[in-house]
């Protein structure tokens, strides 16, 4: 035993010069090397500390849990990550307990990794953390039961957390409920029921979450939120009904259907340019998604009026929405828009004519092929091909 102790001390003395080679030698010793690796986790060099953490993780030895649990708050990110991933890989209740403790770590990535590990190893511990007096722990646990576990059993407690003292916990509870709702559709009613929450930030998180879920059942409730007292909530609600999908180039996503159209027509003609733009975009999404749904008769006339909006963004999006509407009444107006001073508006009009134009659209599109802006000319050429294909 004295010989092994001397060997371990010699290895520790060599750490500053031999670094990871010495750490690997300690790992090969098995259980006897655990105390020395715990000492190595205190060395000034973060490379040595990270190597010691990885070595303890690979040893599959529960004796290394206390050292790894302490290392989750190491000042170096590579050490923290190695420590929490090591705890996630180690068996036994001690590792689970240490992971539960890591939910209160100073660093968000550590908390996230701990929540992810607990979601697969011990939902009981993760659910218990929803009751923790520390709001940081409650928020991390909510993220775990929602995003990683999609745990329906946690829904009642998540609904209670919508009224938590901590604003971070309230918002995380909303997100967790939305993640669960994607797998368990009945949870959607819990989200819509909470839209009357007094906290603006909670309402904002709710409408954004409902938009990401994308379930049409939420359309009436989101449409009602267009009367909210908060501009930020109104804007988010419009975008939740239909907006650009950041995950799909050129795509749109939302929860809207034709039932939301009447509510969108008011902001489309309102004084706020951002709301007008969002309403036109939501209408474009809904008209394309629900082509056979019942439409408010004011829809096309108001979109035609939007083609003359003072904001170029609104004019361009109105042209796109008219293309989705597929109404031939828009062809003459779109032809005039081919002369708009802003190239993006002209390009949108050309694309719209390609979608709905007939023989009357051919001459103006031919002229637009020579537009001074190459993007407009390219759109006009493609539109011409589409129109001529329909006329054959």
Topology of domain 1-91, CATH: 1.25.10
pLDDT by position in tens, the chain (length 392):
455 555 445 544 544 444 666 666 666 676 777 777 778 778 888 888 888 888 887 777 788 888 889 888 889 888 888 889 889 888 889 989 999 999 998 889 889 999 999 999 999 999 999 999 999 999 999 999 999 999 999 999 999 999 999 999 999 999 999 999 999 989 999 999 999 999 999 999 999 999 989 999 999 999 999 999 999 999 999 999 998 776 666 677 889 999 999 999 999 999 999 999 999 999 999 999 888 888 899 999 999 999 999 999 999 999 999 999 999 899 999 999 999 999 999 999 999 999 999 999 999 999 999 999 999 999 999 999 999 998 88
pLDDT on residue 338 = 95
pLDDT on residue 277 = 97
Contact call for residues 283 and 247 (beta carbons, < 8 A): no
pLDDT on residue 17 = 44
What is the CB neighbour count within 10 angstroms for residue 142? 30
- What's the CA gap between 259 and 300, in Å, rounded? 16
pLDDT on residue 249 = 63
Range(s) for CATH 1.25.10.10 in the chain?
1-91, 214-296, 298-392
**Burial (Cβ within 10 Å: 0-12, 13-18, ≥19) of residue 47:** middle
pTM: 0.82
298-392 has CATH 1.25.10.10 classification: yes
3-state helix, strand, coil in the chain (%, to 5): 75, 0, 25
pLDDT on residue 21 = 66
Contact call for residues 384 and 366 (beta carbons, < 8 A): yes
Distances, alpha carbon 127 to alpha carbons 91, 95, 119, 193, 382, in Å:
20, 17, 9, 23, 56
Distances, alpha carbon 321 to alpha carbons 64, 254, 346, 357, in Å:
61, 15, 14, 14
**What is the DSSP track for 54-78?**
HHHHHTT-GGGHHHHHHHTT-SSHH
CATH class of 214-296: mainly alpha
pLDDT on residue 383 = 94
């Amino acid at each position: 035993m004295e010989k092994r102790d001397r060997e371990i001390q010699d290895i520790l003395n060599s750490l500053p010069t031999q670094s990871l080679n010495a750490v690997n030698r300690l790992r090969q010793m098995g259980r006897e090397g655990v105390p020395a690796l715990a000492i190595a986790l205190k060395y000034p060099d973060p490379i040595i500390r990270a190597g010691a953490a990885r070595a303890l993780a690979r040893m599959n030895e529960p004796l290394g849990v206390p050292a790894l649990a302490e290392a989750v708050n190491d000042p170096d990110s590579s050490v923290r990550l190695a420590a929490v991933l090591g705890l996630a890989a180690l068996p036994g209740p001690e590792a689970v307990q240490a992971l539960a403790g890591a939910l209160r770590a100073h660093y968000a990535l550590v908390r996230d990794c701990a929540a992810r590990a607990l979601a697969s190893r011990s939902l009981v511990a993760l659910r218990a953390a929803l009751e923790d007096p520390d709001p940081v722990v409650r928020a991390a646990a909510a993220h775990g039961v929602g995003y990683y576990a999609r745990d329906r059993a946690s829904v009642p407690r998540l609904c209670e957390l919508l009224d938590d003292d901590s604003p971070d916990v309230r918002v995380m509870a909303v997100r967790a409920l939305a993640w669960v709702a994607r797998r368990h559709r009945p949870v959607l009613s819990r989200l819509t029921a909470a839209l009357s929450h007094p906290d603006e930030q909670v309402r904002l998180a709710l409408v954004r979450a409902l938009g990401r879920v994308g379930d049409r059942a939420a359309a009436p409730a989101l449409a009602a939120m267009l009367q909210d007292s908060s501009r930020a909530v109104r804007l988010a609600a419009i975008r939740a009904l239909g907006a650009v999908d950041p995950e799909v180039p050129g795509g749109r996503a939302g929860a809207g259907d034709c039932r939301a159209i009447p509510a969108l027509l008011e902001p489309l003609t309102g004084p706020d340019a951002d709301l007008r733009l969002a309403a036109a975009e939501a209408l474009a999404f809904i008209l394309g998604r629900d082509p056979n749904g019942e439409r408010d008769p004011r829809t096309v006339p108001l979109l035609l009026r939007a083609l003359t909006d003072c904001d170029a963004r609104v004019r361009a999006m109105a042209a796109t929405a008219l293309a989705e509407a597929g109404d031939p009444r828009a062809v003459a107006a779109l032809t005039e828009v081919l002369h708009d001073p802003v190239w993006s508006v002209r390009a949108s009009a050309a694309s719209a004519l390609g979608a709905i134009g007939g023989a009357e659209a051919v001459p103006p599109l031919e002229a637009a092929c020579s537009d001074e802006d190459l993007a407009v000319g390219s759109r006009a050429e493609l539109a011409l091909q589409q129109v001529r294909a329909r006329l054959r």
